[in-house]
Amino acid sequence: MKRLRRRDFLKTGGALVIGFPLGNAVHAQERGSTAGPPDPKQVDTWLAIHADNTATVFIGFAELGQGNSTSLLQIAADELDLEMSQIKTVRLDTNVTPNQGGTYSSASIQRGGPQLRTASAEARLALLQMASKKLDAPVERLTVANGVVSVKEDGKRSVTYGELVGGKLFNVPFTGSAPVKSPAEYKVVGTRVPRNDVPAKVQGKYVYMQHVRVAGMLHGRVVRPRGQRAYGAGAKVVNLDESSIRGIPGARVVRRGDFVGVVAENEWDAVRAARELKVTWDSAPTLPGNAGLYEQMRASQTNDRVVTERGDVTSALGSAPHVASQICHGPYQAHAPFGPNCALADVKADSALLMCSTQDVYGTRNSLSRLLGLAPEKVRVQYYEGSGTYGHSCYDDVAQAAALLSRLADRPVRLQFMRWDEHGWDNYGPAHVGEVKAAADANGKIVAYEYHGWQHGWVGVETSAQLTGVAVTEFPAGAVMGVSALNCGGMYEIPNKRLVSHMLPAKDYLKGGWLRSPLDLSFSFASEQAIDQLAYLAGSDPYEFRQRNITDARWRGVLDAAAQAAKWTARRAGANRTNAKVVRGRGIGVGTHLASYGAAVAEIEINRETGHVVAKHLYGAIDAGQVVNPAFVENQISGQLVQTASRMFKEEVTFSKTNVTSVDWNSYPILRFEESPEVTAVVVQHLDQRSTGAGEEVMAAAAAAIANAFFDATGVRMKEYPFTPARVLAALKVG
């Protein structure tokens, strides 16, 4: 069965290129009749060679705008000795592409690169062995260029990959034993190949999820109160008046429990019906509201875990000459994808097809399988890129909701979340309270460090499922971010250290999810300000102080790279302070997410009369080991710096005691053109090192650099972000 399927595909020449026009959505359904995942132990699972001497690579990672649908091909191109123009990839599909785990933790290259590299090497070896027979020459005498195998010193004797295996299966096991190339042999890895999705994207030819339509479908909308309640509270229908949409004859209500939606042939009818349907929702207060948030977090019953305990922190803190101590607050922040999530579902009695923008097609297949009561093999999930998601936005929720609407309406349903659905029912990056104490000796060496973090974890049940009556759960505890041993002083040599996570009950708070560099901005905001304060107390330049306390060569390297890019000159923070109306400051910071090394410098400007803060120039450096495409990583750094400025200056989910109140771009402002900083991105390349993530590792450093620049300019340590004018004026007044 599996053989037949792949063979059918081979005939097509792999026309299902990511970013191909709409017609190919239909094509995908004709192919791939068997449920995946395909066997990872077969080379055929990973790539196919076509008769025209081109290759298709099958990848389990989603293109999210980071460029991995190009950079993963660079890896395969080098191992296969193909040009980039000879190689392409296909849409993620649980009937077609391998399961490499979700596109999480910026790890496409880190986890997917080695798999693809070894699979490609295995295929190349098999091709060389075939060529050896065909050309009657030993493998050692063969050389390959652009998929043409020729005999060394006898270039006339040659055969192409396409002639050797085109249109046929390899039928070769993936042993992982074929030798891969050394970095010295790379021609494509490490170079600035342009992204293959950009031309279609700027012409309107790229098919985003929001563009997909199928014959016979209805348009759907969900009906929910504008703004979520506490995670555990869900939303309860008190009264629903179906007659309120009698004036829109094309629309009808579908409902299961508290899950309410409308469907219509015409999209505008669906939009109007969702707006006009009269539903009374339970509005009992279930939340602390912004004003009471941090107090409730500190007062809640917590589940405590010691992350690190080393030396004698208490006595080291008690005896050191320089002690910095601070309690910092970080708000809930939203993913807020620029285009709200969208999904298209065709649910039948015994099978389902879901098109959506999930980061993990197989994970979403499992959750839909539970929701619909269908075996996983009966559910097919296809990935279509949506707008940038930066983590767990509502892509699973919209897929579940579309599936429910389709089942209830007994038709294919395209569901486009409205702005308030996405903003109001997001899995927000959780709020954080960080209490940090750090101490340095008379020589400016950090001797003690203690960090206590209060936060809750991530939701285990999507809103749609919850509203149908599924009880809420938290994400498995082991998978939830606690205090980060890396970002809470992990880069420094500190003999006495204690890190403690105080985990809050998720059901009493807003829905939490992983938001790009989860919690790292908050950890770093607290931690790196304390380190900066020690530098200040010790009378040191903050860059020099960090150099003195870091021994790891890669942390040192990335710190130096950021400082050099910013032309950092040594002086103590605050040495250039003035009483002018508009003051400038500079700051430095280090941080990461899970792996890689990040450093940043910020130059900011503060209007002391209006409280308005702007980042003028942000510098970010990353060491992510082997960087397959430095241009893509520079673009990622640039985006991280701008998004960090947005999160530090603008972004905060607001909520009353009843519900979230930030439900659009006016109530949840983000950074705009007029306040966008100039950015400088630096890639510290290590071709000989393992690749690690590069999509979120500069944000913690940049958040810290911004906070430290504020101190440099004003002599005031900010204890809460975002730095709104009101908060800045209040902080400056207290001093």
Do residues 221 and 270 touch, judged by C-beta distance below 8 A? yes
Tell me which stretch binds another protein (CB under 8 A): 174-182, 433-441, 671-679, 722-730.
Answer: 671-679
* Binding map of another protein across residues 407-436, x = CB under 8 A, - = no contact: ---------x-xx-----------------
What's the rounded Cα separation, in Å, for the pair 621 and 633?
Answer: 10
β-pair partners for 632: none
Which residue in the set 3, 133, 187, 213 belongs to the binding site for another protein (CB under 8 A)? 213
670 part of the interface to another protein, by CB under 8 A: yes
Joined tokens for residue 148? 């043409």
- Could you give the angle at the alpha carbon of 180 between the alpha carbons of 176 and 182, nearest 5°? 150
624 part of the interface to another protein, by CB under 8 A: no
638 part of the interface to another protein, by CB under 8 A: yes
- The minimum distance between CB 310 and another protein, in angstroms, equals 37
- Could you give the angle at the alpha carbon of 544 between the alpha carbons of 542 and 546, nearest 5°? 70
678 part of the interface to another protein, by CB under 8 A: yes
Phi, psi of 47 (to 5 degrees): -160, 160
665 part of the interface to another protein, by CB under 8 A: yes
What's the rounded Cα separation, in Å, for the pair 9 and 270?
Answer: 38
Do residues 216 and 412 touch, judged by C-beta distance below 8 A? yes
What's the rounded Cα separation, in Å, for the pair 371 and 85?
Answer: 42
What burial class does residue 459 get, using C-beta atoms within 10 Å of its C-beta: 0-12 exposed, 13-18 middle, 19+ buried?
buried
Joined tokens for residue 222? 């969900």
What is the number of other CB atoms lying within 10 angstroms of the CB of residue 275?
Answer: 13
Which residue in the set 677, 683, 692, 706 belongs to the binding site for another protein (CB under 8 A)? 677
197 part of the interface to another protein, by CB under 8 A: yes
Q: Of 545, 614, 106, nearest to 322 (Cα)?
A: 545
- The minimum distance between CB 389 and another protein, in angstroms, equals 8
- The minimum distance between CB 336 and another protein, in angstroms, equals 6
Do residues 376 and 34 touch, judged by C-beta distance below 8 A? no
What's the rounded Cα separation, in Å, for the pair 412 and 18?
Answer: 23
Q: Which is nearer to another protein, 15 or 198 (CB)?
A: 198
639 part of the interface to another protein, by CB under 8 A: yes
268 part of the interface to another protein, by CB under 8 A: yes
Q: Which is nearer to another protein, 267 or 377 (CB)?
A: 267
Which residue in the set 42, 45, 56, 210 belongs to the binding site for another protein (CB under 8 A)? 210
What is the number of other CB atoms lying within 10 angstroms of the CB of residue 480?
Answer: 20
Beta strands in 399-554 (DSSP E): 413-416, 432-440, 446-456, 496-504
Q: Which is nearer to another protein, 386 or 430 (CB)?
A: 386
Binding to another protein, residues 9-68 (CB under 8 A): 22, 64-66
Tell me which stretch binds another protein (CB under 8 A): 73-81, 288-296, 428-436, 676-684.
Answer: 676-684
Beta strands in 405-532 (DSSP E): 413-416, 432-440, 446-456, 496-504
DSSP track, 182-249? PGGG-SSTTS-PPPTTHHHHHHT-S--GGG---TT-EEEEEE--SS---GGG---EEEEEGGGGTT-T
Binding to another protein, residues 644-663 (CB under 8 A): 646
Q: Which is nearer to another protein, 180 or 214 (CB)?
A: 214
199 part of the interface to another protein, by CB under 8 A: yes
Q: Which is nearer to another protein, 267 or 544 (CB)?
A: 267
Q: What is the dihedral angle through the alpha carbons of 713, 715, 721, 724, rounded to the nearest 10 degrees? A: -60
Which residue in the set 671, 698, 701, 731 belongs to the binding site for another protein (CB under 8 A)? 671
* Binding map of another protein across residues 487-526, x = CB under 8 A, - = no contact: ----------------------------------------
- The minimum distance between CB 686 and another protein, in angstroms, equals 23
Q: Which is nearer to another protein, 187 or 672 (CB)?
A: 672
Q: Which is nearer to another protein, 10 or 670 (CB)?
A: 670
Q: What is the identity of the amino acid at 655?
A: F
Cα 698 → chain centroid: 13
Tell me which stretch binds another protein (CB under 8 A): 73-81, 261-269, 397-405, 432-440.
Answer: 261-269
Which residue in the set 2, 31, 211, 719 belongs to the binding site for another protein (CB under 8 A)? 211
Tell me which stretch binds another protein (CB under 8 A): 33-41, 52-60, 267-275, 431-439.
Answer: 267-275
Joined tokens for residue 59? 């990848």
336 part of the interface to another protein, by CB under 8 A: yes
Give the helix/strand (H/E) hosting 599.
Answer: strand 597-607
Q: Which is nearer to another protein, 386 or 625 (CB)?
A: 386
**Count of residues touching another protein (by CB under 8 A):** 63
Q: Which is nearer to another protein, 16 or 273 (CB)?
A: 273
Cα 143 → chain centroid: 40
Q: Which is nearer to another protein, 206 or 536 (CB)?
A: 206
Do residues 56 and 129 touch, judged by C-beta distance below 8 A? no
Q: Of 366, 413, 422, 418, nearest to 394 (Cα)?
A: 422
For 19, 244, 528, the CA distances from 621, given in Å and listed in that order, are: 31, 56, 16
373 part of the interface to another protein, by CB under 8 A: no
- The minimum distance between CB 119 and another protein, in angstroms, equals 28
- The minimum distance between CB 250 and another protein, in angstroms, equals 9
338 part of the interface to another protein, by CB under 8 A: yes
| Sole residue written with tokens 């123009």 | 85
Do residues 222 and 260 touch, judged by C-beta distance below 8 A? yes
Which residue in the set 10, 77, 125, 207 belongs to the binding site for another protein (CB under 8 A)? 207
204 part of the interface to another protein, by CB under 8 A: yes
Binding to another protein, residues 57-116 (CB under 8 A): 64-66
203 part of the interface to another protein, by CB under 8 A: yes
Q: Which residues bind another protein (CB under 8 A)?
A: 22, 64-66, 194-195, 197-199, 201-208, 210-211, 213, 247-249, 266-268, 271, 336-340, 342, 385-388, 390, 416, 418-419, 631, 635-636, 638-643, 646, 664-666, 670-674, 676-679
